[in-house]
Structure formats: C-alpha cells, structure tokens
Chains A and B, each alone.
Chain A
Amino acid sequence: MVTSDQILLVPLLPFLAFVTNILAGRWLKDRAAWLSIAASSLACVIALPVCWAVFQGAYFAHQGTWLMLDAVPLRFGYLMDPLSATLLFMVTVVGTLIQTYAAGYMHGDPRYSRFFAYVSLFMFAMITLVISDNYLLFFMSWEIMGLCSYLLIGFYFEKDSAANASLKAFLTTRIGDVGFLLGFLTLFAAIGTLNFSEMNGLLTEAHKTHAALNTGLLAVAALFIFCGTIGKSAQFPLHVWLPDAMEGPTPVSALIHAATMVAAGVFLVARSFTLFMAVPNILPVVTAIGTITAFMAAFIALTQNDIKRVLAYSTISQLGYMVTALGLSGLGAGTFHLITHAFFKALLFLGAGSVIHGAHVQDIREMGGLFRKMPHTAVTFIIASLALAGIPPLSGFWSKDEILLAAFGSGNFLVFGVLLLTAFMTAFYMFRLIFLTFFGTARNAGVHAHESPALMTVPLWCLAVGSILIGIPGSPLMHHWFQRFMAQTVHYPEYEPSALVMACSIVVAVLGITLAGVIYLEKKHWAVTVAKNFPSFYRLSFNKFYFDEFYSAYIVKPFNALSRILFGFDETVIDGTVNNTGRATMFLSGVKQWIDTYIVDGAVNFMGTLVYFLNSVTKRIQTGFIQNYLLIVFLSVLAFLAFELKLT
C-alpha cells in the first residue's frame, strides 16, 4: 500500500523554500515566487495520494522520540486521520492557487522575495499544524502562524496603519494563545498526555466504562483551549483584529485570514472534539459565542464601504457559523463548512484584490459598472457570492444547510432563528457589494479599470470550479459521504435531512439577493431612508459596535497607565539607585581625596617640616667657633668622668 512517511516532505518543502528565499532572495528576485509555488505544488502532489488513501479509509500515524525527559520520552509525530487528511487537501490546493495569484499581484514590489519567504514559512506552519499529533507541536505551529500573520499583515510596514494593525493582530491573538497554553497544560495535568489519539482513546474508554474523570479540571481545560479559538478565529470578543488585518496585501488576506489560519481555531475545536463532548457545559458556551459572532459580524457588514472590510466581517460571520456548528456537536457540518468556506472566501478575496489591482480604489462608493471592464473577475466573484449566500447547487448551500439542520434538529430554535436571519443578512450585504461594484454606472469617472493578467485570473477560475464542486461530497448527491467519513473518528449525533430547513435557507437567501438588487440598482434612497429612521442601528453597525473604542478606553488605556507607572518606578527607584550609587561613589572619592590631600600628604609634609625644624634647632651647634667645640669636649669628658666615678 502506499506508505505515509512522505508526509514528512509536505511541510519540509515549503520550509526549504522559506530558507532559500530568506537567504538568497535578493539574488533570486522574481524567481522567488516560482520557488515557493513549486515547493507548494510539489507538496500538494505528494500529499494528495496519502489524502486519497485516507479518504478510502486508511489511517496513518507515526511517532518519533524527540528527547527523553527523565526516562519519559517526548514524542512528536504525525497523524493522518479523516480530519487532517481533509484539511491537508484543502490547505495545499488553496495555498498553491493563492501563491500563483500572488506572483502576479505582488509583481513589482521591492520586497517580493521576502513576501514569498513568509508565505512559504506560513505554509510550513499550517501543514505542520494540520498533521501534528499532539498539542505541543500543534501549539508550536500555531505560534509560528501567528508570527507569519504579524509579518505579512505588517508587510507594508512603512504605513503606520499597517504596522499598528499587525501589532493589534498579534497581541489580540496572543491573549487567546495564553488561554490555549493554559488549556492544554491543564489537560496534561488532568489526563497525563498531550497526544490526540491517546486522549481520544482515554476519553472514549472512560465514557464507555463510565469511569470517573476529573470533569471539573477537564472543563477548565476545554474552556481555556476554546480561548485559543476565540483569539485565532476572530470570535467575539477578540474579533477586533481581523478587519484591521486587511491592511496586508490581498493574497495574505485570502490565504491567512480567509482560508487557512482563521480556520485553525475551528480545526482546534474539531481536534479536541472528544474533550468537548466529554465535559458537560462547555459546548453551550461555544455555541453562544459562535452565534453572537455570526450575527454581530453580519450586522456590521451591512454598512461597510471598503470592499475588503465587508469580506473581513463576512469571514468573521462565517467563522461564527462554523463554531456554532461545532458547539451543536456537528463535527461533520462544521468541518464541511470550513472546507467550502475556504474555497469561496479565498476566491472572494482574490477577486477583490483583482478589482483593487485593476481599479486602484478600495471604496465601493467609488466603483460601479466594472462588469464590462473586468469580466473574469466579476463572474468568478458572483459565483463565489452565490456560494456564500447559499444558493444550491453550489457548495455553500450544502454546508450551510448542514449547520442549520444541526441547529433545528437539536432543538435549538433560538440559534436556528438567529442563524437564518444572519443568512438573510449575508446574502444582502454580499449582493449589495456586487451591485455597487460591478453594476450600475461608474460613480468615479477617474477610475480606469482593466482586467487582471492571466496569472491572476486562472487561479480565480480554479477556485470558482472548486467553489461549485467541493460541496458535492457532503451533499445528498453523494449520500452525505463526508459526514460519515468524519464520523469514523468521533461519533456525533446525525440528523435526518429536513426539507423544511432547506426551503427556509433557500427562501432567505433569495430574499436577501432580491432586496439588495432592488435597493442598490434602482431605489438607492430606501437605504438612505432606513439609515435616517433607525439612526442608532445605523451607527452601531457602521461603527462596528464601538468595540475598538471600548477596548481602547477600558483596556488599552489602563495598561498604558500601568506601564507609565512602572516606567516611572524604573526611572526613579532603579535608575535612581544606580545614579545615587554613582553619586555616593563620587562623594566617597571626594572624601578620599580630602584625606589624601590633608592627612596623607599632611603627614608627609609634617615629617619634612619636623626635620627642618629639628635641623634649624640643632644646626646652631656648628658655630664654626673652635672654642665652643673645645668646651663641649671638655664638658663631655667631665660628664663621663663624673658618671664613671659616681658609679664606682
């Protein structure tokens, strides 16, 4: 059969591309892109047979000992089960297509090779994350992806807004990452292993035998692990970084912030699904957060004017859908939506990039009537929007339908209702975007648009084909093969397909599109009237629910104040100590100088003075007068004589 060790080459090739591009980038120039694309496509080619084998039912896992901790081996390895095979397939295919597009989009940029180096590093990290078999390796790749996100969002670092946005993204996801770290450490404390397979085995065994688990500790672990998802997948309340992350180049937005990195959070919950199922109260929390996110983001997207912002909020909303699905124990539904969303959202972002590249504007109020000038872009964009809105038989319909089915089937009618409303809003804002951008008359006469080169339009068409076809494996046309495939690893409740649900979703989507068409093609004054009559709603939507202002006032400012206080402490106490030590030393040296001058030199001088004084006294003996000497001799002799004679 096919061996699976070549899986190790799949992350390795992009890593080599990264190293080469970093070191030899200046020499490679334009060829750097081809190196990255070649590495990525080669990785795809190597990965596909293994994925295909897993799709057939195989299962691969391999572990190697990295190091020994006191006779306990620390093992790292890869795991190819249905979940990882699916994602690996998606990541390699979409990644390669986006890199091809980027070769054309980034043409002429002075840091061309560095871009592709970063992208290759990101591919390496994402692939490692997908195939890793324990939380520690997962976390390491998670962190590397965070780093790449920082580097790529801030790629145009000369712009203040880009530098700030990259820092915001990094710090916000960091908060989630701390939770994730605490989570899996708690998990380790609870069950003693970080390996996914071992964890799954332990938890299912305990469930079967009804053994006692430390559910309190496990619940805490699950909650903290979910914090990582909140951060990385831009859920409420840590979603604020994703709209600002649009400062990066559009291929970056497509790759990282639509298709792959933000999906990593969802993938984390999917991987930990047995854990989430084993603890009682965490899944409702997951569902709640997902639903709130989905609704809130769609609401904000209704009034945004920047083409990439609309897509960013759309991404947040769809991620909310996926998280909700997982919260409703729909592992298959959530993963399915992840895959389909990757394709059509990447396509949407690349299309937006193509529009920006061709028309050189980002604000949709300045566009209009671009259909004729950019036909390929427009058609693929419309296909992707239809998929996102959920029009059958495109992929988005099947995956969204699965989620709605999970909500309806498990009895969560509130969630079902909210998701349905969100679907309506999704269809509305996407087609508002399309009608304002591609149809109607050109509002800004200075915009001279042209179609993008083939290097950019071919990937668009590939992704369009993917958007149409990728939903088939999970649809009734293939008898829900995908859901059954996912159920091989973890058993989760399945629901009967309901015609009612399907009908609701189709009706809602068509309504949304029609309303958008009516307002934005014909009666634009309706939008203005609504905005005037519901000013608070409009303002909430337009100002993104004031999240940024809230965080800035209540979180950022106190931290800055604290840091200023600590800086003051550092300056006065610590630097003060150092400075005062210096001053004390100077003072001591002054004292010593005084001692040296007055006491030491004084002693020396005193000796000299003493000698001089004694000299001035005793020199008078030498009078030069012989009779004095004679007298002295005589008196001395007399004295000796007296002395001697007295003694005798």
Chain B
Amino acid sequence: MIVLPLSHILIFSLLLFAIGIYGALVRRNIIGILISIELMLNAANINLIAFSKYTSLSPETGQIFALFVIAIAATAAAVGLAIVLALYRIRKTVQANEVNLLKW
C-alpha cells in the first residue's frame, strides 16, 4: 500500500541532503558541521530505503545497506566528536575558522 510516487520521496531526500550540505559548508562550529553531516547521511538512508522498496529485486539489500550506513554514521560521529574534544583541549576553541594553521 504505497501511495507516494518515488520521485516525491527522492526530491524530499534531495532537499534534506541539500540542507545538510548547506550546514556543512556554512556552520562555524565544528559540531554544527558534524550535525549537518548526520543529516546528509540520513538523507542518503532515505534514498536507499525508497529505492529498495520501489525498484529493488531483493528488498533486504537496501535495508541492510541503510543499516550499515547508520552504523558507520555513528562511528563517524564518535570519532569526529573525539577529535573535537581533543582540539578543544588544545586550541580552546571549536570555531572552524580558527583552526587554520595549515594555510600558506
């Protein structure tokens, strides 16, 4: 009993993804960037589920994939936040534009 056309879901996930990218590019706070990354991964998950539901021959594939993505996303968030903590300890800041020692 599926009522929505695939394209609508895809457009929705696209918009979510775009918002995620916007956040990743624009947020000053590093944690804000990490949050935006979670959004992007989420959008990708929605895409995967949608495709697995509408077009796939083996429906488990999409969901297993999405599972793994969730696991990876969690991992990434964990490691990223650890790095942020270490950075905060040293530089006393979590503003992205203040950690630019590798510039010319």
A interface residue numbers (CB < 8 A to B) = 619-620, 622-627, 630-631, 634
Contacts and interface: CB of A to CB of B under 8 A. Distances in A.
30 contacts: A619-B104, A620-B104, A622-B102, A622-B104, A623-B100, A623-B103, A623-B104, A624-B99, A624-B100, A624-B101, A624-B102, A624-B103, A624-B104, A625-B96, A625-B97, A625-B100, A625-B103, A626-B96, A626-B99, A627-B24, A627-B25, A627-B26, A627-B33, A627-B96, A627-B97, A630-B24, A630-B25, A631-B25, A634-B21, A634-B25
Nearest to A631: B25
- Identify the 7 closest CB pairs spanning chains A and B, nearest first: A624-B103, A624-B100, A619-B104, A624-B102, A622-B104, A625-B100, A623-B103
A119 to B, nearest CB: 102
Interface in B54-103: 96-97, 99-103
Contacts of B26: 627
Nearest to A621: B104
A612 to B, nearest CB: 13
Given A623-B100, A630-B24, 16 more contacts: A620-B104, A622-B102, A622-B103, A622-B104, A623-B104, A624-B99, A624-B103, A624-B104, A625-B96, A625-B97, A625-B100, A627-B25, A627-B33, A627-B96, A627-B97, A634-B25
A625 B99 CA distance: 7
Contacts of A623: 100, 103-104
Q: Which of B21, B96, B102, B104: most chain A CB closer than 10 A? A: B104
Nearest to B26: A627
Interface string B26-45: 10000001000000000000
Contacts of A631: 25
A622 B96 CA distance: 15
A623 B97 CA distance: 10
A620 B103 CA distance: 8
Contacts of B24: 627, 630
Nearest to B28: A627
A624 B103 CA distance: 4
Q: Which of A620, A624, A630, A634: most chain B CB closer than 10 A? A: A624
Contacts of B103: 622-625
A619 B103 CA distance: 9
A626 B84 CA distance: 14
Contacts of B99: 624, 626
A615 to B, nearest CB: 9
Contacts of B21: 634
Contacts of A626: 96, 99
Nearest to B30: A626
A620 B24 CA distance: 22
A620 B102 CA distance: 12
Contacts of B102: 622, 624
A620 B104 CA distance: 7
A627 B104 CA distance: 16
Contacts of B96: 625-627
Contacts of A620: 104
A178 B68 CA distance: 125
A294 B26 CA distance: 136
Contacts of B101: 624
Contacts of A634: 21, 25
Nearest to B21: A634
Contacts of A630: 24-25
Contacts of B97: 625, 627
A622 B33 CA distance: 20
A603 B38 CA distance: 55
A518 B10 CA distance: 166
Nearest to B104: A619
B80 to A, nearest CB: 12
A627 to B, nearest CB: 6
A625 B21 CA distance: 16
A407 B25 CA distance: 144
A59 to B, nearest CB: 119
A630 to B, nearest CB: 6
Contacts of B33: 627
A122 B29 CA distance: 124
A619 B33 CA distance: 26
Contacts of A625: 96-97, 100, 103
Nearest to B100: A624
A626 B34 CA distance: 13
A9 B96 CA distance: 124
Contacts of A622: 102-104
A623 B26 CA distance: 16
A14 B25 CA distance: 122
A61 to B, nearest CB: 112
A596 B104 CA distance: 36
A20 B25 CA distance: 115
A331 B85 CA distance: 144
A620 B26 CA distance: 20
A626 B26 CA distance: 11
Nearest to B24: A630
A631 B27 CA distance: 12
A409 B25 CA distance: 148
A381 to B, nearest CB: 120
A627 B98 CA distance: 12
A634 to B, nearest CB: 6
A622 B100 CA distance: 10
B8 to A, nearest CB: 21
A101 B66 CA distance: 144
A625 B103 CA distance: 7
Contacts of A619: 104
A617 B55 CA distance: 50
A627 B96 CA distance: 8
Contacts of A624: 99-104
A622 B103 CA distance: 5
Q: Which of A620, A627, A634: most chain B CB closer than 10 A? A: A627
A311 B66 CA distance: 147
Nearest to B96: A627
A204 B76 CA distance: 140
A627 B26 CA distance: 7
B18 to A, nearest CB: 10
A634 B36 CA distance: 15
Nearest to B22: A634
A620 B21 CA distance: 24
A399 to B, nearest CB: 123
A627 B99 CA distance: 11
A624 B21 CA distance: 20
A282 to B, nearest CB: 111
B55 to A, nearest CB: 21
B44 to A, nearest CB: 15
A72 to B, nearest CB: 98
B41 to A, nearest CB: 15
A630 B25 CA distance: 7
